[in-house]
Amino acid sequence: MKRKIQLKDIAERPLTVADWLAFVFIGILCFFSLQQQDIMHTAGSSVGFLNGHFLDFYDYNFAYIGVDNYMPSSYILFAIWNIPVKLLGFMTIPTISVSYLVLMWNKILPALFYLASGFLIYKIGISIGMGNKKAKLCGYAFLTMPIGFFSQFIFGQYDSFTVFFMLLGIMFYYKKNWLQFTLFFGISMTFKYFPLLIFIPLLLLVEKRILYIAKYAVLFIIPLALEIVLFLPSAAFRAGVFGFPASGYLFQMTLNTKYVSVELVVVLWILVSALAFFKDIKEQDDIVKWSLYYANIITFLIFGLSMWNPQWLLFAVPFWTLGAFIQKRFDIFMMVELLMMLFFTIFVVNFYADFIDQDLFSLGIFKHIIGERINNYLTMRDIYKIGDNNLVFSCFSGLLLVNTLFKHPSLCAEKISKPVDKDWPWVRVRFLLGVSIFLVPAFICFFSALRG
């Protein structure tokens, strides 16, 4: 009995060296083994800036690799990062054909932003009253949330740029520095547009004066407006950025009538914004609880009632994590997030067949070993074989709704500093089992192709 108690104590001891070793080992394994191709296009395009093409950046790149769909911010960050690559002659013109070393070099940049975002989660935890120990646990839980980990280390995307600047805004929001909050949220929207949907309800929750709301709204839009004004004369910019089809995913969930189609996400987002405006709160803890609750509702509208690309869900991970850490039943939300990863994975490997599944090995360190064979044998959709992918998406959406509604402030812990030590094993289970849901069948497919 004494030995069992000791083992239980070890299991419940939060954030040990073993936790960090597990994160580092699995992160490195995924970082070098798996990769999706989008980053090659974005990082390759950034050379246009390094070749001296600024205002004609989009037109210059079009002749080499076609349209660029993002605002300039993403390309500027990659351009700065790729200065040594350009000087060494590894990438001299816009291209999507880069060596493995250059690909991994470019993967490091968003990974650093991801790790920095974990540190910001820790700082936010301190700001809202978690205390140093619990805030560290919260930062680690963010880094190891399976869907977020998938986006960064398996899929290898750069949505961490958006998340990082948005979290800077969130940190200043809880410090009641509304100018800094507005500025960093405005910067974050120059990478992806999702922050707009969070910014408005959060602003309306704490600011009720119409003129001040208008002032902050104008300040918020300035970074994006500046980039648009500078590049608007470019036909390639207008075609690539304004013509990006993924931007319309939010508006595809509609209620069709005889005369018009009502876009449900827009209607519900306006409702949430109004609820925030008419909610009168003064205490700091109430601001924290209600702001995270409304933010979680917005993530449900974006990812529960709309189609998405898998990497986008990283945007929701900070709010899922912070929201879970202030709940009475913290353990339940760790279980829900694990189930979300299960249905997320099943949906993705079936919907994006031979693209976001075992195919991610085709750009990893083993690509010269397996060549094009990775998709010719056992596939992940053979393992996660389903008859109705709509049902799988609906299950994911339902779990996301549960993950949202039951974070209502009335269900939060009385004190934000309430320890989560006894439930910490669920964080380990969520991480290890969660990433295994994708990695185990992926490597089974890899070895199948290797044998073949």
pLDDT tens digits, residue range 268-323? 999 999 999 999 998 999 999 999 999 999 999 999 999 999 999 999 999 999 99
| Nearest by Cα to 302 from 275, 263, 261 | 263
Q: At residue 2, does pLDDT exceed 80? A: no
Residue 258 is predicted with a pLDDT of 83
pLDDT band at 66 (very low <50, low <70, confident <90, very high): very high
| Tokens of residue 41, six digits | 């296009």
Say how far apart CA 126 and CA 134 lie, in whole Å: 8
Residue 392 CA to chain centroid, in angstroms?
Answer: 21
Please indicate whether residue 68 or residue 1 has the higher confidence score (pLDDT): 68
| Nearest by Cα to 86 from 57, 55, 43, 56 | 43
Residue 141 is predicted with a pLDDT of 98
Looking at residues 194-218, what average pLDDT do you find?
A: 97
Tell me the residue type at 432. L
| Tokens of residue 259, six digits | 């005369």
Residue 250 is predicted with a pLDDT of 77
| Nearest by Cα to 291 from 127, 79, 132, 96 | 127
pLDDT tens digits, residue range 80-100? 999 999 999 999 999 999 999
pLDDT tens digits, residue range 247-266? 778 778 888 888 898 899 99
| Nearest by Cα to 182 from 210, 159, 160, 212 | 212
pLDDT band at 13 (very low <50, low <70, confident <90, very high): confident
Residue 255 is predicted with a pLDDT of 82
Say how far apart CA 79 and CA 93 lie, in whole Å: 12
- Say how many C-beta atoms besides its own lie within 10 A of residue 299's C-beta: 23
Q: At residue 330, does pLDDT exceed 50? A: yes
pLDDT exceeding 70 applies to what percent of the chain? 97
| Nearest by Cα to 42 from 149, 160, 143 | 160
pLDDT tens digits, residue range 357-381? 999 999 999 998 887 789 999 999 9
Say how far apart CA 170 and CA 121 lie, in whole Å: 9
| Tokens of residue 50, six digits | 């390094």
Angle between helices 17-33 and 100-127 (to 10 degrees): 150
End-to-end CA distance of the chain: 50
Residue 75 near residue 48, CB atoms below 8 Å: yes
> For residue 52, is it left (φ>0), alpha (ψ between -120 and 50) or beta?
left
Tell me the residue type at 340. M
pLDDT tens digits, residue range 143-189? 999 999 999 999 999 999 999 999 999 999 999 999 999 999 999 99
Looking at residues 228-240, what average pLDDT do you find?
A: 96
Q: Residues near 87 by Cβ (< 8 Å), separated by ≥ 6?
A: none
pLDDT band at 208 (very low <50, low <70, confident <90, very high): very high
CA dihedral 97, 99, 104, 107 (to 10 degrees): -10
pLDDT band at 451 (very low <50, low <70, confident <90, very high): confident
pLDDT band at 1 (very low <50, low <70, confident <90, very high): very low
